[in-house]
Structure 1
């Protein structure tokens, strides 16, 4: 599949390990070098600032999507080419998903996980047919991947939905995997037993 823009989920913190911020910056650089635009949360600090700065340093296209209340706190990146201002966090997520052909989640906190899980769910119910990447820097997401195994084993997640998820430790590896994506069959509820 052709990927022209990638939505990147990441937060306003960089974590305690310098590898995380470095990986975000390198992802931005790599996507710019591949002529792939970035859609992200619009922030100037943390992992958000790092991915935007990496792309901008290499002449990449960067679109920020930020709610008005965060604009009012002067958190928006001043140098991105396009800044979409929305009225809520819900609208932010919706627009970020719409503008990207694929999604990548970087290491992050509750907000990053919330964005990731909503888009993962949207894929299961057919609201989009896009691949989702997890940049597993420093094995950050190992426990999450183990949790998915448990969800499958306990009957709360069908294994086929893992086919929309791809993991990689480096940008190039992950992007190559995203390009192999074939949409997963949309979820139906015919196989759920009624009580």
Structure 2
């Protein structure tokens, strides 16, 4: 099995086409760079788009999906390497295990919850890989502003503004991963004020 990145993203199929196009392009870029993906196992929305793109380019896809989602037929039928788990917590744990980076595309509460768990883990030194936001159509701008507000009002340290890297185009993902700031060896020293 080759190197993989984790991709968090939406399952909604009613979103603007520009988000779908970016997910498809991301899949192509990753495979061209020799990377497969681990993702939430869904067949719809950005989840389906990025998985389909990676598969179409001959890349490796691992899906991780809770059994209750399989029962309501959210599972991607074309992904052969599908891991079934009991809980959302197990899913998140497996998704980030042994990956080169986490890439987050636009999404809803599930995507944001996954992103913030990774950011909290990175802040505490439990996850030390690059975290990249694909900010298609400025989707993450309000979130970035909120994080800036948290820093400005001393809820977080200035250093925590570098937990992630923001890109606007899928083609910039490898540069973002390679140039990601190395997180401190002892992040607990800056975890709180």
Query: Structure 1 length as normaliser, TM-score?
Result: 0.92
2:48 corresponds in structure 1 to: 49
**Cα pair distance change 1:178/1:70, threshold 3 Å:** same
1:140 corresponds in structure 2 to: 139
List aligned pairs for 1:59-74, cutoff 5 A.
59-74=58-73
The answer to whether the 8 Å contact 2:28/2:57 transfers is yes
Q: Which runs of 5+ in 1 are unaligned?
A: none
1:188 corresponds in structure 2 to: 189
The answer to whether the 8 Å contact 1:161/1:184 transfers is no
Q: Which runs of 5+ in 2 are unaligned?
A: none
1:109-131 alpha-carbon deviations (Å, 9 max, x no partner)? 11100100010000000111111
1:190, 1:107 → 2: CA distance? 27
1:52-109 alpha-carbon deviations (Å, 9 max, x no partner)? 0111111111000000111112211111231111110000001001142200110111
2:191, 2:31 → 1: CA distance? 44
Q: Spell out structure 1 runs of 4+ moving beyond 3 A.
A: 188-192
The answer to whether the 8 Å contact 2:13/2:46 transfers is yes
TM-aligned CA deviation for residue 161 of structure 1: 2.0
2:17 corresponds in structure 1 to: 18
Instruction: Report the 3-state secondary structure (helix = DSSP H, G, I; strand = E; otherwise coil) of the residue aligned with 2:132.
Output: strand
In the alignment, structure 1 residue 163 sits paired with structure 2 residue 172:
no
**Cα pair distance change 1:88/1:182, threshold 3 Å:** same
1:141, 1:157 → 2: CA distance? 19
1:160, 1:174 → 2: CA distance? 22
| CA-based RMSD | 1.7
User: How many pairs were matched up?
Assistant: 190
**Cα pair distance change 1:187/1:14, threshold 3 Å:** farther
Instruction: Report the 3-state secondary structure (helix = DSSP H, G, I; strand = E; otherwise coil) of the residue aligned with 2:188.
Output: coil
1:152, 1:146 → 2: CA distance? 10
Instruction: Report the 3-state secondary structure (helix = DSSP H, G, I; strand = E; otherwise coil) of the residue aligned with 2:127.
Output: coil
1:178, 1:99 → 2: CA distance? 15
**Cα pair distance change 1:95/1:190, threshold 3 Å:** closer
Instruction: Report the 3-state secondary structure (helix = DSSP H, G, I; strand = E; otherwise coil) of the residue aligned with 1:184.
Output: coil
1:112-171 alpha-carbon deviations (Å, 9 max, x no partner)? 001000100000001111110000000111111111110100001112122231011112
